[in-house]
Structure 1
């Protein structure tokens, strides 16, 4: 339900926070239109306001459904004051745990968890629009989960893992893109469709951590070789160190955290100014 939206107006009390979050979209909000979130029709009209948040309501003339301007944003149905959200973002961007963010902002632990992933899901939506093209360096990240094979004993299951792969792609324009590739292992006869789609607009590729995917890439890309850009290797090390701040990130949320670190990288690389981040905190390393 968290999607890019161009519906929010300046009168909404969450508008400034919404505007700040959208800075992280880089250039991916330019083509977002005002559409009905249900049927994607452009024929929408104003339909009153929500008194508690001063949020504008809309009505779609096509499907006749109504919705608020905060629909699709992290602030949808929130009754908390924007200053509490602001404080939460300040704490979250200091890499504090969900529990610590909860204590510092005086909200429930469950609310802290939900807010973190509402924010990360929203960021995830526009950073996942970045697609690698032309000259690309790529490496694979592996997320291991304990095998669910019920035929194994408890002792065997503790040593058997399912590998889930994510690609990190870096272009010369300093863009990082993150894409889930699915469950491995891969072979030349078992290449995920997500990888085939990912590399279709790439002219030159250097790929690390997967000989099987590299073999396939060499068949469809004019220039493909083993290895990755030194910057991407450093980025990967820094990200691994950053992950030490957190314990037991579930596979369900792993992509969110990868994009969170990417957003920290963009803030530092492109000197993005966000109200809840101090100048001394902009480094992603």
Structure 2
């Protein structure tokens, strides 16, 4: 241990190890191993902890035990939380911690303007779409008749650090009931006829009565992503117990307009 330090866990971290418990730790994981798993999971989100730990066991020639996955999970959570704290402190030092600073500076090519640069007709271009490849099963008890019962999920109140993800509350504020309330004061263009536009019958993705039935078995069904035209991530909305509903697109667009002002978006709604 380092001289003058009372916290055993902090000493482990200074030496490049993350313990599996706050005190009396007998198992630690190296920072390098945790970083390898973090980067590997960014490239392959389906890489679970258990196969990674089994691979480590094979490398070290020891048999796998289920408790090893639990220990790795604890250390990895602490590692991720530590990285988030360090990142927040760096942003504070660089004065990049103001609200929406990251979004306003997400893409140098899109956001940075030169002196006396003539304004563009469309100052900012972006695109958005949903993806359902990141599903997470909603684990529930099974009733006697085979139907789903009470949830077996552990309550998790943690939030993703940073401002990439829109909160569920902000997304839900654009739900069907809320939109119907907003539309009460809307006056449509008298020259537009819905039955003649040829599009409404083909827009199946956004029909909530269709998508809500298909995704009820999942807690999370994917993400709704917004990108600038150079591929930088602007916003992410977590799709919860549903397919690609209208509220995700509305919430993303509303947030972008509120922060960036005038924008032009491309979206394949069909």
If the length of structure 2 is used for normalisation, what is the TM-score? 0.35
Higher RCO (C-alpha under 8 Å, 6+ residues apart)? 2
Structure number with the higher helix fraction is 2
If the length of structure 1 is used for normalisation, what is the TM-score? 0.34
Structure number with the higher strand fraction is 1
Larger Rg: 2
